Amino acid sequence: MQFYLNGYTPGDPDLQDAGPAAALRPARIPDLVDVLVIGSGPAGVVLAAQLAAFPGIHTRLVERRSGPLQVGQADGIACRTVEMFQAFGLADQLMREAYWVNETVFWRPSPDDRSQIMRTGRVQDVEDGLSEMPHVIVNQARLQQYLLDHMRLSPSRLEPDYGMEFIGLTVEPDGSHPVVVTLRDAATGTGSTVRARYVVGCDGARSRVRDAIGAVPRGDFANHAWGVVDMLAVTDFPDIRLKAAIQSADAGNILLIPREGGYLVRLYVDLGEIDANDPDGREAFRDKHTQASVIATAQRVLRPYTLDVKSVVWFAVYQVGQRVTDRFDDVPAGQAADGPTTRLPRVFIAGDACHTHSAKAGQGMNVSMQDAFNLGWKLAAVLDGRASPALLQTYSAERQAIAQGLIDFDRAWSKTMASQPKDPARPELGGVDPAELQAAFVQAGRYTAGVATHYASTTVLTALPTHQGLATGFTIGMRLHSAPVVRLADAKRVQLGHVALADGAWRLYLFADVDSQRLCALLQFLAESPTSPVLRHTPAGAEIDSVIDVRAVFQQGHRALRVQDLPPLLLPRKGRFGLIDYEKAFAPDLQHGPDIFSLRGIDRQQGAVVVVRPDQYVANVLPLQAHADLAAFFAQCMLDRR
Per-position DSSP letters for 511-552, written without gaps between them: E--TTSHHHHHHHHHHHH-TT-HHHHHSPTTS-TTSSEEEEE
- Count CA atoms within 13 Å of residue 48 on its CB side: 33
Considering only CA atoms, which of 308, 313, 311 is closest in space to residue 234?
Answer: 308
Residue 128 burial (CB < 10 Å; 0-12/13-18/19+)? exposed
Q: What is the distance in angstroms between the CA of the first residue and the CA of the last residue of the chain? A: 30
Torsion of CA 139, 141, 145, 148, to 10 degrees: 140
What phi-psi label fits residue 616: left (phi over 0), alpha (psi between -120 and 50 degrees) or beta? left
Q: Give me the amino acid identity at 567.
A: P
Q: How far is CA 336 from the centre of its chain?
A: 26
Handedness of CA 610, 614, 617, 619 (dihedral sign): negative
Burial track 289-310 (b if 16+ CB lie within 10 A, e otherwise): bebeebbebbbebbeebebebe
Give the integer Cα–Cα distance in Å for 265 and 505. Answer: 40
| E strand map for 212-276 | 217-219, 224-235, 243-247, 253-258, 265-273
Strand ranges, E, within 83-178:
99-100, 103-109, 117-124, 136-137, 161-162, 164-171
522: nearest Cα among 452, 431, 626: 626
Amino acid at residue number 400: Q
Q: What is the pTM of this model?
A: 0.93
Report the pLDDT value the prediction gives residue 438, as an integer from 0 to 100: 76
Strand ranges, E, within 31-158: 32-38, 59-63, 76-77, 99-100, 103-109, 117-124, 136-137
Distance of alpha carbon 486 from alpha carbon 465, whole angstroms: 28
What integer pLDDT is reported at residue 340 of this predicted model?
43
Of 42, 49, 37, 38, residue with least CA distance to 365: 42
The phi-psi region of residue 460 (left if phi > 0; otherwise alpha if psi is between -120 and 50; otherwise beta) is alpha
CA atoms within 13 Å, Cβ hemisphere of 524: 7
The per-residue pLDDT for 425 is: 67
DSSP string, 511-522: E--TTSHHHHHH
- Chain center to CA of 382: 21
574 phi-psi bin (left φ>0, alpha ψ -120 to 50, beta other): beta
Residue spans of the chain under pLDDT 70:
21, 23-25, 221-223, 275-283, 320, 334, 336-341, 358-362, 417-419, 425-430
String of b and e for 75-84 (b: at least 16 CB within 10 Å)?
A: bbbbbbbbbb
**C-alpha span between 146 and 313 (Å, rounded):** 21
Residue 364, phi then psi, degrees to nearest 5: -55, -60
Please state whether 536 falls in left (phi above 0), alpha (psi between -120 and 50) or beta: alpha
pLDDT attached to residue 188? 93
Domains by residue range for the chain, with CATH = 30-90+138-219+324-407 (3.50.50.60), 99-131+223-317 (3.30.9.10), 468-637 (3.40.30.20)
Helices 42-51 and 364-383 cross at an angle (nearest 10°) of: 30
**CA angle, residues 170, 174, 176, in degrees to nearest 5:** 95
**How much is the pLDDT for 539?**
96
